[in-house]
């Protein structure tokens, strides 16, 4: 964490919560946030597409921001099952997760697709949260930096400095997602620092210094403080724990 970068904690609800369940969770979050100063962290929730409208309505006037879990790169068209950035923007979506490892693993997402999705989000005024991270076998084979380098350089290819400043990166080692195994703060910090070096090489050091890099993978109240205490960790992308209002807020604050 660095005082130049406001920490951002985003809850990735994945394929959980109907619209009605989502409203109950948002009411719970709002209750937990009573009396908390807005300026300390930026909190974002990323419900499934089907709950965005309901959640957006309930979040009006709240400091919690709305995010989506994906976004398509075309403005509109014959792309059955996809959602365009303008559709999300209209609902008040401010952030869009792109390139989550579950999209990469189970739905064939590529770095090129991640790049197109992130650019489309930016073009509509939505900030992409670009997910990067190695699988267990890749870490064990000593390929962590090579994999992360590809995710970052190809995922952010062609970005202007201004686009980069609107973008958040989430480093999520795949072996730590939903497994209860967290990267140690030192392991996470090493990769975060590496990502910041890559950004400095791609853009410049002042841009790299301003970009927020979240850690994700089994973040919970018990480990969040130590992770966020690392110099280059500027927040968290929280999965399982974000489905519980108390758990999410405890991890976030
Ligand atoms: P987890 O998920 O917190 O349940 O490990 C994180 C994520 O997938 O973003």
Does residue 178 line the site of ligand 1, with CB under 6 A? yes
Does residue 238 line the site of ligand 1, with CB under 6 A? yes
pLDDT in tens, 191-222: 999 999 999 999 999 999 999 999 999 999 99
How many C-beta atoms lie closer than 10 Å to residue 145's C-beta?
15
Is 130 strand, coil or helix? strand
d(CA 241, ligand 1 centre) in Å: 8
Whole-model pTM: value is: 0.97
Residue of minimum CA distance from atom 6 in ligand 1: 239
The burial class, CB within 10 Å (0-12 / 13-18 / 19+), for 135 is middle
Does residue 218 line the site of ligand 1, with CB under 6 A? yes
Is 10 strand, coil or helix? strand
172 carries an active-site annotation = yes
Lowest mean pLDDT among 23-37, 83-97, 143-157: 23-37
Average pLDDT over all residues of the chain:
95
Instruction: Specify the pLDDT at position 38.
Output: 60
133 neighbors 172 (Cβ within 8 angstroms) = yes
Strand locations in the chain (E): 8-12, 42-46, 65-68, 93-98, 127-132, 168-171, 213-216, 235-238
Instruction: Specify the pLDDT at position 37.
Output: 65
């Amino acid at each position: 964490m660095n005082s130049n970068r406001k920490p951002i904690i985003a809850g990735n609800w994945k394929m959980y919560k109907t619209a009605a369940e989502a409203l109950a969770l948002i009411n719970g979050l709002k209750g937990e946030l009573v009396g908390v100063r807005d300026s300390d962290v930026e909190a974002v929730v990323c419900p499934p597409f089907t709950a965005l409208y309901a959640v957006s309505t309930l979040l009006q006037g709240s400091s919690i921001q709305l995010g989506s879990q994906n976004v398509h790169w075309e403005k509109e068209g014959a792309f059955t099952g996809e959602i365009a950035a303008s559709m999300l923007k209209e609902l008040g979506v401010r952030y869009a997760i792109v390139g989550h490892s579950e999209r990469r693993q189970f739905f064939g997402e590529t770095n090129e697709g991640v790049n197109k999705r992130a650019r489309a989000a930016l073009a509509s005024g939505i900030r992409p949260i670009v997910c990067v991270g190695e699988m267990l076998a890749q870490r064990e084979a000593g390929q962590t930096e090579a994999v992360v380098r590809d995710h970052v350089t190809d995922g952010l290819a062609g970005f202007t400095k201004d686009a980069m400043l609107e973008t958040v990166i989430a480093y999520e080692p795949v072996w730590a997602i939903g497994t209860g195994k967290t990267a140690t703060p030192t392991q996470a910090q090493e990769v975060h620092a590496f990502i910041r070096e890559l950004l400095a090489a791609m853009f410049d050091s002042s841009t790299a210094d301003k970009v927020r890099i979240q850690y994700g993978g089994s973040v919970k109240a018990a480990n969040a403080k130590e992770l966020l205490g690392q110099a280059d960790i500027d927040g968290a992308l929280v999965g399982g724990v974000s489905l519980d209002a108390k758990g999410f807020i405890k991890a976030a604050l």
